[in-house]
Amino acid sequence: MKNIIFGVFLLCLYSCASHKDAKQSNTQDKFIITSPMVIDTTFLQEYIADIQSIKNVEVRAKVKGFLERIYVDEGQSVQEGQILFSVGNSGLREELLKANAQLKSAQAEAKIAEVELKNTQLLLEKRVVSSSELEMAKAKLEAIQAKIEEAQSNITNAQLNLSFTTIRAPFSGKINRIPLKVGSLLEEGSLLTTISDNSAVFAYFNISEKEYLNFISKNDLSKIPQVNLIMANGVLFSQKGIVETMESEIDKSTGNLAFRAKFINPEGVLKHGSTGKITIPQKLQKALLIPQQSTFEVQENLYVYVVSANNTIQSRKIIIQMRLGTMYVVSAGLSSSDKILYEGVQLVKEGEIVQTQFKPMMDLVHISKIQ
């Protein structure tokens, strides 16, 4: 009798445990499904930017000579017309002196020729000389006047060359590296330094031909919103930029078109040669969004599990347009009426029948994750 009672007790325990396990199994096998979200939103399109000073030029020697003196230092701010370097060349001063001497000599010859011309005219009136001698006297004076003009030209050229020995700042800006030192022998065209005006900068960035056509069909340059610049350290630059112009030709090798945005740089933070990212706000209408966690990859293709009306799992390939936060924007493969597995894609198999619970996407995903 005791054995029978003990057996019934064990049977009850087993039955309760089995019922409990089945209940837990049914709960665990319930998968959350949802439908893609359709929204209108704005996203920031990023483009790699090459930053250049509004003015940046090389300062080079225009005449041969020795670097006589350096008046500035690297990194120093200078004003337009300020003396930067002086070049020693005694030969240029000698050329100026020679040109002045030639002018004085030609002017003296011209005075003598004028007197001779007057005398010849008087003699011609008295019929002492012929008219041909008068013509010769006029021609002599004209030749000497030509020598005067040549001497004046030589003086101007010598003065210009001598002025090149004093090198001044072409505009206000900052001096960059000075590679040569005092006493260096300079050839015509030797690089002395570069000077940059960083009060404003240009940011050049490239967009694809497709993006350009899509963008320009809705906007013109005057309607492009102000753009932001993310600096190389990931920090947002304090000033907004304005897209001023674009190139007239598409680069055949890259298929891109270059745009130019201008940024005011009051504190001089941006330097010539810097890099960054231009961000332009773009509108996205009727975007079909799904969470990244609902997808899985097979041979570089992206898939989701679609749940049919009878709760059968079916994989479906999708095409992604872009990523917004933790969400994907789907361009092909899904519709807003499809039911997809929200999470647990690694726990199910193709063709498997599962228990599901539907929840709207807005109840599962925080709106901030879409931005």
Are the CB atoms for 326 and 2 separated by under 8 Å?
Answer: no
Residue 114 lies in a domain: yes
**Considering the domain boundaries, does residue 300 fall inside one?**
yes
Give the residues across from 230 on adjacent strands: 236, 277
204 lies in the same domain as 270 = yes
Exposure b/e, 101-124, CB count within 10 A at least 16 = b: ebbeebeebbeebeeebeebeeeb
- Residue pair 39/183 in contact (Cβ under 8 Å)? The answer is no
Domain of 174 in residue numbering reads as 61-186
275's enclosing H/E stretch is: strand 275-291
Q: 161 and 92 in one domain?
A: yes
Is 229 within 8 Å of 211 (Cβ atoms)? no
Whether 297 is in a domain gets the answer yes
On whether both 254 and 327 belong to a single domain, the answer is: no
The Cα 205–Cα 246 span in angstroms is 10
User: CATH code at 324?
Assistant: 2.40.420.20
Judgement on whether residues 65 and 89 belong to the same structural domain of the protein? yes
Boundary of a domain, candidates 284, 319, 353: 284
- 286 near 331, Cβ under 8 Å? no
- The number of beta carbons lying within 10 Å of the beta carbon of residue 264 is 15
Q: What is the pLDDT along the chain (371 residues), one digit of tens a residue?
A: 444 444 434 444 444 444 444 344 444 468 999 999 998 888 888 899 999 999 999 999 999 999 999 999 999 999 999 999 999 877 777 787 888 888 888 888 888 888 888 888 888 777 777 888 878 888 888 888 888 888 888 888 888 888 888 999 999 999 999 999 999 999 999 999 999 999 999 999 998 888 888 776 655 556 677 899 999 999 999 999 998 888 888 888 888 999 999 999 999 999 999 999 999 887 888 899 999 999 999 988 999 999 998 999 999 999 998 888 889 999 999 999 999 999 889 999 899 999 999 999 888 886 554 55
Opening angle at CA 103, ends 119 and 188, nearest 5 = 155
Residue whose tokens read 């130019």 = 260
